[in-house]
């Protein structure tokens, strides 16, 4: 007589208090690569969506000759980067470039994707928890979030822009560094934009007319060899003979 519902069923009150007190773990729990890759698949279902959904920002469709300058953020540690950290770095870099260089003055690209799925074996840490959980029985955790597994020397972020905006690009990448754990280096690329051609080689091939634009990249025409149908169609009939 005169008992409340919590007095009648103490387990219910413990569960409610545990659910209210449960927060996200600090990322030091998941910073290092210790297990095999565990991607989302038909065996691994119920994975929460990654926080980052946009991997290209700015003028991503500008052709290759508009933005000759490029800089990269390179990881110096073998670790894991959460999708939340990648999204925070994208927002910080994009916001600084839009404010200080203009929204049409750059192209930002996130070079890593969070495919690896984290797990958590939730443990109660309240009074009476020993009566509600079973310890290490069934310890394979539930899906918790996604991270990108990065190696030493792997590029994390890349920005291409005009040469006059080099200070703004480096400052935006420097600000984005603070969103990641570990150490990163900022590198100025010797190549033209996001291509694989050094600047001198790019300009020489462009002067020879051997470059074909391919979006943000270029294709190099071979100086000799069989002609493709597109090249043959441009030749005058007098050169084709009989």
**Span 58-86, mean pLDDT?**
95
Confidence of residue 6 (pLDDT cuts 50, 70, 90): very low
pLDDT in tens, 178-218: 999 999 999 999 999 999 999 999 999 999 888 888 889 99
- Structure tokens that stand for 198 in this block: 């050094």
CA distance 240 to 236: 7
Q: How far is CA 65 from CA 68, 69, 168, 199, 206, in A?
A: 6, 10, 20, 11, 10
Confidence of residue 239 (pLDDT cuts 50, 70, 90): low
CA distance 128 to 175: 46
Among residues 48, 146, 52, the alpha carbon closest in space to that of 90 is found at 52
Beta strands 142-150 and 155-161 are: unpaired
Among residues 162, 150, 170, the alpha carbon closest in space to that of 71 is found at 170
Confidence of residue 8 (pLDDT cuts 50, 70, 90): very low
pTM of the model: 0.82
3 or 65: which carries more pLDDT confidence? 65
Count each helix (H run) and each strand (E run) in the chain, helices first.
7, 10
Where do the DSSP E strands lie in 98-154? 106-110, 116-120, 142-150
Helix (H) or strand (E) holding 184: strand 184-188
Residue 55 has pLDDT above 80, yes or no: yes
pLDDT at 236: 77
Sign of CA dihedral 206, 212, 214, 219: negative
* 117 C-beta neighbours (distance < 10 Å), count: 20
Rg (CA), the chain: 27
Beta-bridge partner residues of 73 = 157, 186
């Amino acid at each position: 007589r005169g008992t409340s519902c919590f007095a009648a069923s103490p387990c219910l009150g413990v569960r409610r208090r545990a659910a209210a007190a449960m927060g996200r773990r600090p990322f030091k729990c998941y910073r290092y690569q210790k297990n095999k890759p565990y991607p989302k698949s038909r065996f691994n279902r119920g994975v929460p969506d990654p926080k980052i959904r946009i991997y290209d920002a700015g003028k991503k469709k500008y052709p290759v000759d508009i933005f000759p300058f490029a800089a990269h953020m390179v990881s110096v540690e073998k670790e894991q980067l959460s999708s939340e950290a990648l999204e925070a770095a994208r927002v910080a870099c994009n916001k600084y470039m839009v404010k200080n260089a203009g929204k049409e003055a750059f192209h930002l690209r996130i070079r890593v994707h969070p495919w690896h799925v984290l797990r958590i074996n939730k443990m109660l840490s309240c009074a009476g928890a020993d009566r509600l959980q079973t310890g290490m029985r069934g310890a394979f955790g539930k899906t918790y979030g996604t991270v990108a597994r990065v190696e030493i020397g792997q590029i994390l972020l890349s920005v291409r822009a005009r040469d006059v905006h080099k200070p703004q690009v480096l400052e935006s990448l420097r600000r984005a560094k603070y969103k990641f754990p570990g150490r990163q280096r900022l590198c100025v690329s010797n190549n033209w934009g996001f291509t694989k051609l050094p600047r001198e080689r790019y300009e020489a091939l462009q002067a020879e007319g051997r470059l074909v634009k391919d979006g943000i990249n270029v294709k190099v025409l071979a100086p000799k060899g069989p002609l493709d149908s597109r090249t043959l169609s441009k030749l005058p009939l007098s050169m084709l003979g009989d």
